[in-house]
Amino acid sequence: MGGVAGSPGPVMDRDEVDRALARLGAEHEAIETSLLALQDHAGRRLLEGAELTGVTKERWTSTEASITLLWTYFDAYAGALRSAREVRARRRWSSREDLVELTELLRGESVTVAGSHGAGGATLLEGPGRLSRQFSLTALVDRMNDLYATSLDMVVTADAVWSALPARIDLLAAELQRTRRLAHSVGVRPGEHPAGDDLERITRTLTALREQVVSDPLAFWVPAQGSSAPGGGRPDTTVYDREARALEDVRREIDAVLTVRQDAEARLVRLRDVLSRADRTLAEARTARGEVLAKIAATEVPVVSGPPIVLQEQLSTAAEYRRQAQWHRLSPLLESLEQKAEDELLRARESLTAVTAPLAVRAELRGRLDAYKAKVARHGLAEDPLLIERYDAARRMLWSAPCDLRVAEQAVLRYQHAAAELLAAPRPPERPTPQVPGQRAPEDRIDRGDRGQRGGFEGESS
């Protein structure tokens, strides 16, 4: 809706009058078109038929009065335009008296607007105690523009909320019903599963939200910052978005339960296998502990716990849930059991490692002793009496039962130190030894003697 230019001043000539009347005619058509569009706007019809509450009810009461006043102003405007046209139509060449009258009609405050009556017979006119008011045509158009903008803003805003939120809420409610049916099929019900309680809460919230949106749409509108255009802003979807996310969480929970229903048997088989391996490992650890106590002296051997009876009982409960199709109970139990079973297998393996640690230490000492013996033999020192004595002492300790690891380790260290000293000492140049036919080399005799000494341990416990 535009305005008419001009202000009171000198008497207008005929050309000015004709141009002004042409502008006024175009303005009249534009105003009438805008008012009829507002009258037919879907949002206005919805507002008239709705049971409104809150801020929307207050705004619509004011807007209805503004729309009624707009039509009153428009009728006065149309009447003033009609009067000006009649004056101009009196004669082809308007007299000065006609031009003075036309100047007053077109530029002066010549339009009188009487109060109109609204609901309950109340007089509707701007300003307290005003039954009528004088306007120039320009001021009247400006005032109509203001009233039209505020009225259109209210109508467009309400219509935007109604166009956006109720339809989205209905779609979400339909999805909610499908999810409820699916949840019920897998035993997820209110009071029995948290997801069932969430579905009930979401249902209540969406029902209340839709009622509030329908009765008070303006309560769900966020105006655009710095915008003066009618309907500038967006619907406030905070509550809707929160419930949509909550429903998505529930759907994921239901999907997890459905997955449990499909994979339950395979997961139960895997659980039985993991617990069986843990049980076998613990049995092996108990056997190894007895062996360590018999073969290793003066050492602390950890106690091995019994089989995971509690987990076996929970596994039986899980199998019963599967037979009874109680998927909502089976889902969390399987997740818990899978973690506990893996922890139990790890604990069993750690127990076996801890129990067999002394045997590993003995094996390492045996390996170290033989490695040093091989090293000194490569350097031609195997026949050294001190090395033979210390090797035999260490070997007796390591191949006897029970074996004192601390004493055996010291014996091995003594052998290592003696070997290291001999290997580091300067050696005189070797002279060839005459070989008597049929006589074995000294190294061969020493090796045979060494093998004979070691042969005395072959029957000892290892």
More confidently predicted of 329 and 5? 329
Asked whether the beta carbons of 202 and 176 are under 8 A apart, the reply is: yes
8 Å CB contact between 183 and 254: yes
pLDDT tens profile 157-178: 999 999 999 999 999 999 999 9
Q: Where are the alpha helices (DSSP H) in 222-237?
A: none
Instruction: Produce one character per residue of 307-317: b if its CB has 16 or more CB atoms within 10 Å, e if not.
Output: bbeebeebbee
More confidently predicted of 431 and 332? 332
Q: Examine the pLDDT at 204 and tell me if it is beyond 90.
A: yes
* Alpha helices by DSSP H, 7-41: 14-40
Confidence category of residue 301, pLDDT binned at 50, 70, 90: confident
Kindly state the average pLDDT of the residues 191-216: 92
pLDDT for the residue numbered 7: 45
pLDDT mean over 331-357:
88
For residue 328, the model assigns a pLDDT of: 75
Alpha helices for 296-355 (secondary structure H): 309-323, 327-355
Q: What are phi and psi of 135, to 5 degrees?
A: -135, 150
Residues 238-297 pLDDT 10s: 999 999 999 999 999 888 878 877 888 888 889 999 999 999 998 888 888 888 887 887
Please give the backbone phi and psi of residue 117, each rounded to the nearest 5 degrees, phi first: -110, 130
The answer, as to whether pTM is greater than 0.95, is no
Q: What values do phi and psi take at 231, rounded to 5?
A: 75, 20
pLDDT of residue 430: 56
What pLDDT score does 212 carry? 95
Instruction: Give the confidence band of 109 by pLDDT, cuts at 50, 70, 90.
Output: confident
- Dist. CA 212–CA 50, nearest whole Å: 12
Helices (H), 216-308: 238-295
Position 55 scores a pLDDT of: 94
For 47-62, the DSSP string reads: HHHS---HHHHHHHHH
Mean pLDDT of the chain: 81
Looking at residue 433, what is its pLDDT? 54
Beta-strand runs (E) in 118-258: 123-124, 132-135, 221-223, 233-235
Distance CA(362)–CA(282), nearest Å, equals 22
Ordered by start, the domain boundaries in the chain are: 14-156, 162-258, 261-355, 356-426
- For residues 41 and 46, what is the distance between their CA atoms, to the nearest angstrom? 9
How far is Cα 241 from Cα 447, in angstroms, rounded to an integer?
88
Q: Taking 70 as the threshold, does the pLDDT of residue 403 lie above it?
A: yes
